[in-house]
Amino acid sequence: MIIVTGAAGFISSCLVKELNLRGYNDIVVVDDFSKTEKNENLNGKKIVAKVPRKDFFSWAELFKKEIDFIFHLGARTDTTEFNKAIFDELNVEYSKRMWNFCSENNIPLVYASSAATYGLGEFGYEDNHEIPAKLKPLNPYGDSKNEFDKWVLNRMLSEAEAPVPPFWAGLKFFNVYGPNEYHKRRMASVIMHAHKQISETGAMKLFASHNPEYENGGQLRDFVYVKDVVSVCIYMMEKKPTSGLYNLGTGKARTFKDLAVATFHAMDKPISISYIDTPIDIRDKYQYYTEADMTKLITSGYTKPFYTLEEGVTDYVKNYLSKHSYF
């Protein structure tokens, strides 16, 4: 039995679909299913049970001997939310309970970390275990993810020899885009916003640069297609390389202008891009460059090529956004 938390959300619902495509159907999904807008993401997926997030640990005590693997991808992911208590509860304390449950019951665990932990990139983007203690994330979301990473690493170094999962991986997701993010609204990927704007107006507005080192549209991100993300998740489950933190991007930063141009091309529309000021509430916490160092994942044995930005955007636009369909 495979557990997927945050299962009605963006990445997790795509993971459930990919698991199904690879023949894994004994899946239990965990989430706050009261948010009905997200539940469409699970339509047509093969699962054996839905467990409300608040009930998971009492349920898991009854079925722990049947659980083979846990993907703990559920989290509060809103980078514009500044109520630290929300992140402490959902992203830190709940994750600690999950880690302890897996440790006590010898269950392998993959959990979602984030590139938001890297802040402005002052210490680079290498996924070694010495960096988390130095990092300065730009918002409470990034803080919560880094706090849990640090807690995990401290457990691994503890002289008390506390139990740990037989295998674990914390995946530092970079800028993930792709199907099943209709419910994310403001926090949806720029591609989804671009498709909507271009469909309605024939044009696309991007954030202007407020950093003299970057031209308008020249801000750089490591955009990674969700189909690659879930492929890596399943690789971790099947191959179980060395436990640890792993970056999950493409290893190649691209500009927002590249992304917009790829979207226009995928929609067969003429290019029309203008620039607006970055909102004040995120301007001083805005990353101008992220690029995953993918050495650790590649040397662990992962060999599948990643979608290029153009390939991923084209698949997303033509096969999902243009049809309002789901993966």
What's the CA gap between 131 and 150, in Å, rounded? 9
| Residue of 307, 59, 29, 1 whose CA lies nearest to 179 | 307
From the list 94, 111, 118, 141, the catalytic residue is: 141
Residue of 241, 232, 90 lying closest to 167 (CA atoms) = 241
Q: How far apart are CA 178 and CA 76, in angstroms?
A: 19
Residue 269 has phi, psi (to 5 degrees) of -120, 150
Eight-state DSSP code of residue 40: G
Q: What sign has the CA pseudo-torsion 210, 212, 215, 221? A: negative
Active-site residue identified among 50, 150, 184, 252: 184
Q: Give the closest residue to 115 by CA, choosing from 208, 187, 225, 221.
A: 221
Active site residue 141: yes
| The token pair that represents 211 in the structure block | 């950093």
**∠ CA 236-239-245 to the nearest 5 degrees?**
40
Q: Residue with structure tokens 């698991």? A: 19
- What are φ and ψ of residue 205, in 5° steps? -105, 130
Q: Which of 81, 105, 102 is nearest to 91 (CA)?
A: 81
What is the DSSP track for 233-291?
HHHHHHH--S-EEEEES-S--EEHHHHHHHHHHHTT----EEEEPPPHHHHTT--S---
Structure tokens at 21: 């495509």
* DSSP H or E stretch at residue 1: none
Distance CA 174, CA 121 (A): 13
Q: Which residues are catalytic?
A: 141, 184
